[in-house]
Amino acid sequence: MKVVLFCGGLGTRIREYSESVPKPMIPLGHQPILHHVMEYYSEHGHDDFVLCLGYKANVVKDFFLNIRPTTFADCVVSGGGKDVQVIGEVSKDWRVTLLDTGIWRNIGERLWAARDQVRGEKIFLANYSDGLTDVDLDDMVRRFEVSGKLACFLAVRPPLTYHLVDMAEDGGVREFRSSDRSDIWINGGYFVMRPEIFDYMREGEELVLEPFARLIADNQLMAYKHEGFWRSMDTLRDWQVLEDMVEKGDMPWNARVSSERKRRTVIRAIP
């Protein structure tokens, strides 16, 4: 099924990078976070992508126009660079639609602009392109199909690191404690939808506001709860956390890398 990726935001909260490249093109390791997201979907068998571009759309276009099978693979070069042999598996052949949806549009407007690209699909996927997870996408899609609803989003617990303060009217502190996430669920930016979602949308509306409110009123929206790994890249601190994970080879969103890491751990543990 097709995967709609929203790649046009300004990324103002991570300005250290987003002034030179769009947020989805900020690198994690040797590849942009957008590529990590696409690899996640590809590992689940979804290789047809629709990229909704906006801010610095040319940077994203240049990346895909110049990408080659050897970009992220081990290879042997000979003949002065004329002969290139890939070592191991060759990257999958993705189909990527590059759709310029405008600089100042919100997520709802970008999805609305891509509606013709998913026309005829029974179900399509969508993503904010700035978060990574190890959620079982196949199970999420299966539960959505059984539900008969029109839209589903990934519900996750935010990685809160704040301390909560309980204060009296006069400013006196009654309690100071670590944050408790037990009752907090947020939208993780991973969606499963049917094209009928567009019947609930109006041009100019933000996706999770008016359209989702209409879906809720008709009991057509579901949440898929995920207690496992999830992290969005909203700030420089978030980027640092994800970058450290990539450097250590700790990439739970990448099934292939995670399996290899587990295998090496088992080998090291054998006496």
Question: Per-residue pLDDT tens for 96-108?
Answer: 999 999 988 999 9
So what's the pLDDT on residue 96?
96
What CA–CA distance (Å, rounded) separates 252 from 246?
Answer: 10
What CA–CA distance (Å, rounded) separates 223 from 204?
Answer: 24
Q: Is position 173 within any domain?
A: no
pLDDT above 70 (res 271) = no
Q: Which percentage of the chain shows pLDDT scores above 90?
A: 63
Give the confidence band of 182 by pLDDT, cuts at 50, 70, 90. Answer: low
So what's the pLDDT on residue 22?
87
Give the confidence band of 14 by pLDDT, cuts at 50, 70, 90. Answer: low
Q: Is position 47 within any domain?
A: yes
What is the DSSP code (8-state) at residue 210? H
pLDDT above 70 (res 144) = yes
| More confident of the two residues 9 and 58 | 58
Tokens for 47? Answer: 């290789």
Q: Is position 146 within any domain?
A: yes
Tell me which of 2-6, 82-86, 251-255 is least confident.
Answer: 82-86
So what's the pLDDT on residue 176?
76
Q: Is position 175 within any domain?
A: no
Question: Which structural domain range is residue 188 located in?
Answer: 2-73+84-157+184-269
Read off the pLDDT of each residue in 182-204 and give the average, rounded to a whole number: 92
Q: Is position 178 within any domain?
A: no
What CA–CA distance (Å, rounded) separates 162 from 202?
Answer: 37
| More confident of the two residues 251 and 159 | 251
**CATH number, domain containing residue 222:** 3.90.550.10
Q: Which percentage of the chain shows pLDDT scores above 70?
A: 83
∠ CA 114-117-120, rounded to 5°: 130
Read off the pLDDT of each residue in 29-34 and give the average, rounded to a whole number: 93
Residue type, 136: D
pLDDT above 50 (res 265) = no
Cα 237 to Cα 11, 186, 194, 215, 233: the distances in Å are 14, 19, 35, 35, 8
Q: How many separate domains does the chain show?
A: 1
pLDDT above 90 (res 220) = yes
Strands 221-226 and 151-156, sheet pairing: parallel
Q: Is position 15 within any domain?
A: yes
Q: Is position 79 within any domain?
A: no
pLDDT above 50 (res 266) = no
Tell me which of 100-109, 144-153, 212-221 is least confident.
Answer: 100-109
So what's the pLDDT on residue 193?
98
Give the confidence band of 70 by pLDDT, cuts at 50, 70, 90. Answer: low
Question: Per-residue pLDDT tens for 223-249?
Answer: 999 999 999 998 888 999 999 999 999
Q: Is position 101 within any domain?
A: yes
So what's the pLDDT on residue 161?
60
So what's the pLDDT on residue 59?
93
Report residue 156: phi and psi, to 5°.
-130, 165
